[in-house]
Amino acid sequence: MNIGDVARQSGLPAKTIRYYEDISLVKPKRETNGYRVFNDADVHKLTFLARARALGFTIEDCRTLLALYEDKSRASAEVKKVTGKHLNEIEAKIADLQAMHATLTRLSEECAGDQRPDCPILEELSGKDRRSNTHDAKQ
Amino acid sequence: MNIGDVARQSGLPAKTIRYYEDISLVKPKRETNGYRVFNDADVHKLTFLARARALGFTIEDCRTLLALYEDKSRASAEVKKVTGKHLNEIEAKIADLQAMHATLTRLSEECAGDQRPDCPILEELSGKDRRSNTHDAKQ
DNA sequence: CTTGACCTTACAGTAACTGGAACCACTAGA
DNA sequence: TCTAGTGGTTCCAGTTACTGTAAGGTCAAG
């Protein structure tokens, strides 16, 4: 199979597949004309990578997961550990985003959004002490 | 004020402040010895930037917001528009992360996490059709 | 023989910094 | 005066995971 077919099958752009070869995630053979040839195992690996990336695993996590996948004597605990770490990071990100969301929603609701220049959003960003609420000990 | 003092006041690393000068977000004067000198307006700007970045605005959004802040005849609608767009992006990210979280949590719960090699997480990544659930029309 | 689809490499750019090397400036103390 | 320590400077490279672009080689069809 050539790279275009693999791209269609795996859902990954050809460019990405070349990149994955660059960083040694896959090692397709070459035809005499220089074209990459992907066998079923390569395609399977790339599909695995596409799924893992879609679940937010980093490339390095993917490398680890792929190695575990190919190690038939792995302990599932290893896989679960990687997943657990990733889950924690996702949770942290969600929490960060939700905090931002809460603040921005509040400010946005307070902002008239009309032709007048007065704007609580800019006031907050500029550090203006709005509605005499003097304690702002956060981080 | 020198860069170190500003870093302490604004909470931004000196390195970041230099970077912000590089991309023309601030334009501190220079002393004869080459040191940057920050006046109150500069420090205020940097504090503004630190807050906007903490709320997840991109650098380009920050540039826009800073320009709006300094335009005393702005319409608050402009600010609200930038904020609204950002809120939408945050919501999309949260949704993505929550979907990943749900899938990973499910798989993680199904994984024994012991010394045995059997692992639902790897099975899902490899595309193995687990428990005869044949429909997987997503994306 | 040309056209078009497909393949190749190599280099640059993205976002927003961060780290490191090599070097200059200033102050205080021996 | 020398020196140590702190803080400043520039410049270049690295991070993450690609993506864009240019310049060119390959192949099948008409």
A36-46: per-residue pLDDT in tens? Answer: 999 999 999 99
The first and second tokens of residue A3, run together, are 């790279």
**What is the pLDDT at residue B10?**
96
Q: Is residue B64, in this structure, part of any structural domain at all?
A: no
Q: Answer for the pair A91, B98: CB distance below 8 angstroms, yes or no.
A: no
DSSP letter at A29 equals E
CA distance A95 to chain B (A): 9
CA distance B33 to chain A (A): 31
- A103–B55: do the CB atoms touch at under 8 Å? yes
Q: Answer for the pair B49, B40: CB distance below 8 angstroms, yes or no.
A: no
- B108–A11: do the CB atoms touch at under 8 Å? no
- Residues of chain A with Cβ-Cβ distance to B119 below 8 Å are 68, 74, 76, 79-80
> Mean pLDDT for chain A?
92
Q: How far is the CA of A23 from the C1' of D15 (A)?
A: 15
**Same domain membership, residue A40 and residue A16:** yes
Strands B29-30 and B36-37: antiparallel
Q: Is residue A8, in this structure, part of any structural domain at all?
A: yes
> Most A CBs within 10 Å: which of B69, B80, B86, B103, as the mutation test of the A interface?
B80
User: Does strand D come within 7 Å of the CB of B34?
Assistant: yes
Name the residue in chain B with its Cα closest to that of A116: B75
**pLDDT-above-70 percentage for chain A:** 92
pLDDT bucket at A128, cuts 50 / 70 / 90: confident
Q: Answer for the pair A23, A59: CB distance below 8 angstroms, yes or no.
A: yes
| Strand C positions closer than 7 A to protein CB | 6-9, 15-20, 25-26
Average pLDDT of the segment spanning B116-132: 84
Average pLDDT of the segment spanning B110-127: 95
The Cα–Cα gap between B38 and B18 comes to 12
**At residue B131, does pLDDT exceed 80?**
no
Q: Is residue A138, in this structure, part of any structural domain at all?
A: no
pLDDT bucket at A138, cuts 50 / 70 / 90: very low
**Same domain membership, residue A85 and residue A42:** no
CA distance B5 to chain A (A): 18
**Same domain membership, residue B83 and residue B33:** no
**Same domain membership, residue B84 and residue B113:** yes
Q: How far is the CA of A129 from the C1' of D20 (A)?
A: 46
Structural domain for B41, as ranges? 1-57
**At residue A132, does pLDDT exceed 90?**
no
Average pLDDT of the segment spanning B79-99: 97
Residue at which a domain ends, from B30, B57, B84: B57
**What is the pLDDT at residue B128?**
77
pLDDT bucket at B72, cuts 50 / 70 / 90: very high
Average pLDDT of the segment spanning A63-74: 96
